[in-house]
Amino acid sequence: MSDQLVKIRDLWLEGRSDETWNPIINGVDLNLKKGEVLGLIGESGAGKSTLGLAAMGFCRDGVRVFKGSVEFDGIDLLNASAAVKRDLLGKRIAYVAQSAAASFNPAHKIIDQHVEGPTQHGVMTKEESEADGMELYRKLRLPNPDEIGFRYPHQVSGGQLQRAMTAMAMACRPDLIIFDEPTTALDVTTQIEVLAAIREIVQEFDTAAIYITHDLAVVAQMADRIKVLLKGDEVETADTRTMLTAPTQEYTKSLWAVRSFERPLKSPVIASAVPVVSVRSVDAAYGKVPVLHDVSFDMHEGRTVAVVGESGSGKSTTARCITGLLPPSAGEILFDGEVMPPSYKRRTKDQLRQVQMIYQMADTALNPRVTVGNIIARPVQFYSGLTGKALRKRVDSLMDQIELPADEYYKRLPSELSGGQKQRIGIARALAAEPKFIICDEVTSALDQLVAEGILRLLARLQDELSLSYMFITHDLATVRAIADEVVVMKEGRVVEQGPKREMFKPPHHPYTDLLLSSVPEMDPDWLTNLLAERGVDNIGDAAVDNM
């Protein structure tokens, strides 16, 4: 077969942890034809990135090939010399990383990094490559294509950087590009323009691609074929439409089913009820930069208010105002109808107890040197004064509530837990204070879909048992659909729309809500094509936000 570009046969990869080598990829085969796009999906830890990099003949530090073969266009990459591989990398095989902000060198201008590949590989002169770069920027619909390259990476937004990185990958017109979760770090509206740009340019130059992601709806738009990985094993491979409509394996079916979790609707709030927390005309600023403008909404007992918006819309700042970490410059926060002091320093212990927080990154929110038991025991002791056996009993019952048996987990350190388990400890720590109100700041966005669903179900159960109120900060509308009772949509520090979930997901919407809703990728492989046809290529992403 002459049009075969990548041929991976029975590849076994191992990773080092402490002094032992553990399997990461177990005997996977992979075929890619010229100009074909293969989607690689699975949860984190499934070995997607490792396999993607192996297709470039590259292993990260601490990863090694146990056996198998990787061929690129007839070249045996695993036995090729470093010089032969260096000649292929960047020139015939390129890579687009997850975070463009971290993968562009902060010390050099974007265009200088763009021309490095073509000039070092001897494909083009500096001038040719610069001109070509600007042409690519234009094709990828970057604003000011002739000028944007002369900026430093930190001067350009995330979505634009991601497109500049795609342009950089295209610089030598490679035969193969590995896209490693290129839109995971982006907002939904920004994600669309990057997806559209990548798809268009890959088609135009007939480039083959391996598209790695954990988002099924995204991969449905991008790939001709999909390969599903689970813990280093291949689950199944099929072309996109077959895979979406008729998955054969149980695991694939369960991935497809995750998005079906939805809480039953609750009866509407009684108009006279006093809200647990009420945000009234709050303005806030970081230094002299105003961030929030006249933000008002109420949160009632036993209910979940989802605060939705893109990064920078002021969701987390509102949370900081409610907790008192950032005293508002105007307006007030009411708890059970009483005004709370603006700064946490002046709040009473009881006021502090009532408002708790669960963080996005459970990894960094837990002290790595303290055992799970002590992490939970500390707030119990602080707020209730329990000691000795009574304290231990309370911690045990909290650990029961989060479904992590105390006798097994009490003495573990955070590093000995999985991501989902860490987030459960974060929840137990918030519950330890016996609060009425908990702020959940993007608590599921760092988790895989199956694990995230488990966390959402746990939060829902706790809410029913303890009549907790949640303020649920998220940018993921699927999560909103699953758990919210009411929705607040924020944009540029203002509330643009609010109301019960049922109304929010039914038209007519505020145009921004509409944009957000219609930007969430759907499992339909024609979704992106239809959306572009409907909106027009110049009215997506940032442009659409600006056009409003």
Where along the sequence are the contacts to another protein (CB under 8 A)? Answer: 56, 58, 60-61, 85-91, 94-95, 97, 99, 102-108, 116-117, 120-121, 151-152, 154-155, 168
CA distance 354 to 469: 10
Shortest spacing between CB 447 and another protein, in angstroms: 21
| Closer Cβ to another protein, 90 or 309, answer by number | 90
User: Do residues 141 and 193 make contact, with C-beta atoms less than 8 angstroms apart?
Assistant: yes
Q: Which is nearer to another protein, 114 or 424 (CB)?
A: 114
Taking the least distance from each CB to another protein, the nearer of 115 and 217 is 115
Minimum distance from CB of 150 to another protein (Å)?
10
Q: How far is the CB of 142 from another protein (least distance, A)?
A: 17
With contact defined as beta carbons under 8 Å apart, do 498 and 489 qualify?
A: yes
Which SS3 state, helix, strand or coil, does residue 71 take?
Answer: strand
- Report the residue number, 168 or 488, with the smaller CB distance to another protein: 168
**CA geometry: angle at 349 spanning 346 and 354, to 5°?**
105
- Interior/surface letters 166-175, b for 16+ CB within 10 angstroms, e for the rest: bbbbbbbbbb
CB of 103 to another protein, least distance (A): 4
To another protein, the closest distance from the beta carbon of 85 in angstroms equals 8
Tokens 């929840």 -> residue: 427
CB of 312 to another protein, least distance (A): 13
Helix/strand/coil (H/E/C) assignment for every residue in 302-334: CCEEEEECCCCCCHHHHHHHHHCCCCCCEEEEE
* Rounded-to-integer distance, Cα 73 and Cα 84, Å: 13
Nearer to another protein, 107 or 271 (CB): 107
Distance CA(224)–CA(423), nearest Å, equals 35
In angstroms, give the least distance from the CB of 287 to another protein. 13
What are the two backbone dihedrals, phi and then psi, of residue 76, each rounded to the nearest 5 degrees?
Answer: -80, 100
Closer to another protein by Cβ: residue 88 or 222 = 88
Burial of 535 (0-12, 13-18, 19+ CB in 10 A): middle
For the bound state, the minimum distance from the C-beta of residue 88 to another protein, rounded and expressed in Å, comes to: 7
Nearer to another protein, 21 or 58 (CB): 58
CA pair distance 8, 231, nearest whole angstrom: 18
Residue 388 makes CB contacts below 8 A (sequence gap 6+) with: none
CA distances from 21 to 42, 215, 546 (A): 22, 29, 51
Least distance (Å) between residue 105 CB and another protein? 4
Give me the count of residues in the chain: 548
Q: What single-letter amino acid sits at 228?
A: V
SS3 state at 76 = strand
CB 139 within 8 A of CB 171: no
The residue type of 393 is K
Residue placing its CB nearer to another protein in the complex, 116 or 396 = 116
Closer Cβ to another protein, 53 or 439, answer by number: 53
Nearer to another protein, 91 or 141 (CB): 91
Task: Find the shortest distance in angstroms from Cβ 86 to another protein.
Answer: 4
